[in-house]
Structure 1
Amino acid sequence: MNTSALFLKKIVFAGLFLSVASVSLSGQNTSKEIRLKNNSSTTVTDYTLEIPVENLALPFGNYIAEYEGKVVPVEISSNIYNKTFAILPIDKIDANKELKITIKSGHAEAYPKRTYAELSHKIGGQFVGREYIGEHSWVKPNNITLPGSFTDHSYYIKYEGPGWESDKVAFRFYLDNRNAIDVFAKKTSEIVLPGVGIDGFSNYHNMAAWGMDNMKVGAGLGIGTIAVWNGSKAVRVDKKDSTTCLIPMDGKIRSQVKTIYYGWDANGTKCNLTSLISIDAGSRASHMELFVDKNIDNLATGIIKDKNAKLTIKKEEGSEWSYIATFGKQSLNKDMQGLVVFVHTKQIKQITEDELNHVLVLSPDNGYLEYYFMPTWELDKEPVKDEATFLKCIDEVLNRLNSKFNITGLK
């Protein structure tokens, strides 16, 4: 065995995440100094640095990173292909600047939890038809498998599906026949989802100290919802054999929701679709990764229409990322709200619309597709009250997506 390499095995069982090492700590170096260079012409903020675990060559253990007098956690995260990364937060790196980062054994106990994900449901009651009734308690297994017939308004799953959040915003999606993504807007940087949805089925539609559900999704795409384009409209993931949803990561700096749709009927093609949603500390944007095991060249996503919102489309040939965005008094609370979806320009097949939605039709690359979706709100802790501020938020995300970093000091 090469004892200078780090081997990690991930096990998800009954909602617990375990890390298992197959190395010995004796005689191994437990620190590494790397240098991160921002080669772009713009300052990048709230950046999550990802380093392939095998490139660090550190033994199994708990690690921190130190730079410019800051101490931050190092966490382990995987992408949809189960490739494992060490991740750490960089709050700011100026244009053409180099950071010296020391990764070493330790615990960042003082660092706050800035992301969260959960999947909770009731116990103690029973199903009567489609509805779960009776006295109940809540349990958070963070893992569930449901039949394809599971439908909306069953009153079983807390706020009807998984939830995930950063210190900027929270989301949920309906884990039923709707499979649409919704926004929980936050007025605080604190973690709020553990207390949402336990005091009544839909109280979160009313303004609370933490914020509220401020999007009306209905039959639309909400923001960033997975769909297939049938030639005239975007059809959500409504018909499938079964669905498994789990929380593979609930960290201080990244949290994730993974969902596998078995036997999805994608406009007549039966397939298995896997989605992995990630959100990072300091980010309003969620990252969606998709993998489909059949040739589906018309996957779709988008933004629900609103007559009070202005549509902006930015697609530039030669640019890696493009986006569609809406801004206006379109929130459920009749406030100024911005919605944007970022996609790889090369994967855009068509930008179109149907009766309810602004739609991006996308072609996966060997079954793989990724995009980002982001809301803003005028009552955020960092309020976005006008279009100019909204466009600045978009530029900040584009700076992160287009950033050109160079890492030295790895093996």
Structure 2
Amino acid sequence: MKNWYKFLFVLLAAGVSCASPEEKEFPESFTVTVTNPASFDRNDVMVFIPANELSDGFNAKAFIVLDGKTEIASQYNLNDKDYPGIVLVLDGLQAGQSKDLTVRYNKAGESKRNYTKRTQAELSHKFGGEWKEREYIGGEFKNVEYLRVPPEHKDHSWFIRYEGPGWESDKVGYRFYLDQRNAVDVFGKKVPEPALQKAGLDGFDSYHEMQEWGMDVLKVAKSLGVGSIGYFNGQSALRVEITDSVDCRIVENGDVYSSILTNYYGWNIGDSKTDVASRLSIYAGSRLTQNLLTLSDETDNICSGLIKDPKGNLFTKEGGAESFGYIATYGKQSLNDDNLGIAVLFSAPDFIEFTEDEFSHIVKMKPSGGKLTYYFVAAWEGEPGGIKNEEEFISYLDQTAKELANPVKVEVK
């Protein structure tokens, strides 16, 4: 009998010693199955595991996600109320493929992981100077997580670095003017690593010339740029120009997902006003920005669109059950005089019509229940391994439109 106990003890000890380092550090676990329901392969797949589906006792400060024995870069969204929970990006899924992932965690403590930073969101304004009428004189730029826009601030006030918040993936960067223009612009990137922190440190003009990281590649002027919020009044697109006040917050600034929330209070759209919350987000490996709008009052339309450029060929598709619609242009329309594709993608049930005004190609959309979600994208040929011609861009758009209409399924077991 004593020998039997000794044998059992040896077996138990061997079991403990055979536990992997991950199992020792993160002893609790559950399985998540991710399925691609579509008949096509997909790359760079964002997976979202909602907070309310996580196991009891889950500790967001001490967890990892494993694909077999390989750890996958992930993050926990604590502040993004639209995507609270675990976010990760898979390299790809084949048509119809299901993949089991293991989430391991420790109920106590904290364990920070060091992943490659593939997304970024930032907002930087000056401190230490002073306002003289509508210009900010002196001071130094510092990054902040929140800003209530001062009433003095207008375009070219020299107060906000590169004039607004910025967000980027390892493929492309964006900014929007946090002033009365409220239009979205594009930073073409020559490098995969974060670059926004280098933009605009030595003045507004620096990023209009080619830098080692890339440059501003889109001229916005009075147009909708790419994906800007607007209201179509029957004649032209009204950007979010006249408001009572505006504030902006960096919600998530993570390795694989970043987001920005901007509140426009009292947006004047003619005979009425509405409050609009815009949550912009981007994830690793993707050029797409998602814009999720929440409106305090129903409007007959929200529009978005693209700058009109004679060098850009126009393409439109209304979409359907198996594909988002889009409005897009492609051609030598970048500020570097090379190829740039830009597009807005939308769910077919939200579509009203395509139209135009003097400055923009426009898509009108119908909010439902005070909500509207659409996407926008830019693809610059200077991006490493990027899209080089019109045929490739349209193929990319068609694939992306199908992926948006057929999202992956995530099941927590």
TM over 0.5, yes or no?
yes
- Give SS of 1:301's match: strand
Deviations, residues 151-197 of structure 1 (Å, cap 9, x unaligned)? 10000000000000000000000000100000000011010011111
The structure whose residues are more often strand, as a share, is 1
Structure 1 unaligned segments of length 5 or more: list them.
Answer: 1-27
Structure 1 residue ranges (4+ consecutive) displaced by more than 6 angstroms after TM superposition: none
Q: Which moved more, 1:262-271 or 1:329-338?
A: 262-271
Q: Which moved more, 1:91-100 or 1:158-167?
A: 91-100
**Separation in structure 1 between the aligned mates of residue 409 and residue 247 of structure 2, nearest angstrom:** 38
Shift of 1:39: 2.1
Shift of 1:35: 1.9
**Separation in structure 1 between the aligned mates of residue 38 and residue 158 of structure 2, nearest angstrom:** 49
Q: Which moved more, 1:307-316 or 1:164-173?
A: 307-316
Q: Structure 2 vs 1, CA of residues 91 and 317 (structure 1 numbering), >3 Å: closer, same or farther?
A: closer
- Please name the residue that 1:151 is paired with: 154
Map residues 50-69 of structure 1 onto 2, 5 A cutoff: 50-58=48-56, 59-60=58-59, 61-69=61-69
**Separation in structure 1 between the aligned mates of residue 34 and residue 223 of structure 2, nearest angstrom:** 42
- The structure with the largest alpha-carbon Rg is 2
Q: Structure 2 vs 1, CA of residues 317 and 252 (structure 1 numbering), >3 Å: closer, same or farther?
A: closer
Letter in 2 for 1:97: Q
RMSD of Structure 2 on Structure 1 (CA): 1.9
- Please name the residue that 1:42 is paired with: 40
Letter in 2 for 1:100: D
**Separation in structure 1 between the aligned mates of residue 190 and residue 210 of structure 2, nearest angstrom:** 10
- Give SS of 2:149's match: strand
**Separation in structure 2 between the aligned mates of residue 335 and residue 50 of structure 1, nearest angstrom:** 36
Structure 1 residue corresponding to 2:294, chosen from 291, 294, 299? 291
Shift of 1:333: 1.0
Q: Which moved more, 1:345-354 or 1:159-168?
A: 345-354
**Separation in structure 2 between the aligned mates of residue 360 and residue 29 of structure 1, nearest angstrom:** 51
Letter in 2 for 1:130: R
- Please name the residue that 2:193 is paired with: 190
- Please name the residue that 1:109 is paired with: 113
- Please name the residue that 1:75 is paired with: 75
- Please tell me whether the aligned partners of residues 73 and 108 of structure 1 are also in contact (alpha carbons under 8 angstroms): no
Q: Structure 2 vs 1, CA of residues 191 and 316 (structure 1 numbering), >3 Å: closer, same or farther?
A: closer
**Separation in structure 2 between the aligned mates of residue 115 and residue 318 of structure 1, nearest angstrom:** 31
Question: Is 1:281 the equivalent of 2:284?
Answer: yes
Q: Structure 2 vs 1, CA of residues 353 and 80 (structure 1 numbering), >3 Å: closer, same or farther?
A: farther
- Please name the residue that 1:14 is paired with: none
Shift of 1:396: 3.7
- Please name the residue that 1:118 is paired with: 122
**Separation in structure 2 between the aligned mates of residue 128 and residue 147 of structure 1, nearest angstrom:** 13
- Please name the residue that 1:98 is paired with: 98
- Please name the residue that 1:132 is paired with: 136
- Please tell me whether the aligned partners of residues 205 and 214 of structure 1 are also in contact (alpha carbons under 8 angstroms): yes
Same amino acid, percent of matched pairs = 37
Shift of 1:408: 3.6
- Please tell me whether the aligned partners of residues 46 and 88 of structure 2 are also in contact (alpha carbons under 8 angstroms): yes
Deviations, residues 176-227 of structure 1 (Å, cap 9, x unaligned)? 0100000000011010011111112221000011100011000100000001
Shift of 1:70: 2.9
Question: Is 1:375 the equivalent of 2:378?
Answer: yes
- Please tell me whether the aligned partners of residues 43 and 93 of structure 2 are also in contact (alpha carbons under 8 angstroms): yes
- Please tell me whether the aligned partners of residues 323 and 405 of structure 2 are also in contact (alpha carbons under 8 angstroms): yes
Q: Structure 2 vs 1, CA of residues 83 and 112 (structure 1 numbering), >3 Å: closer, same or farther?
A: closer
Question: Is 1:84 the equivalent of 2:81?
Answer: no
Letter in 2 for 1:151: K
Shift of 1:380: 0.8
- Please name the residue that 2:403 is paired with: 400
- With the length of structure 1 as denominator, give the TM-score of the two structures: 0.89
Q: Structure 2 vs 1, CA of residues 30 and 396 (structure 1 numbering), >3 Å: closer, same or farther?
A: farther
- Please tell me whether the aligned partners of residues 119 and 247 of structure 1 are also in contact (alpha carbons under 8 angstroms): yes
- Please name the residue that 2:229 is paired with: 226
Q: Structure 2 vs 1, CA of residues 370 and 80 (structure 1 numbering), >3 Å: closer, same or farther?
A: farther
Structure 2 residue corresponding to 1:161, chosen from 135, 152, 164? 164
- With the length of structure 2 as denominator, give the TM-score of the two structures: 0.88
Letter in 1 for 2:28: T
- Give SS of 2:410's match: strand
Matched residues, number: 382
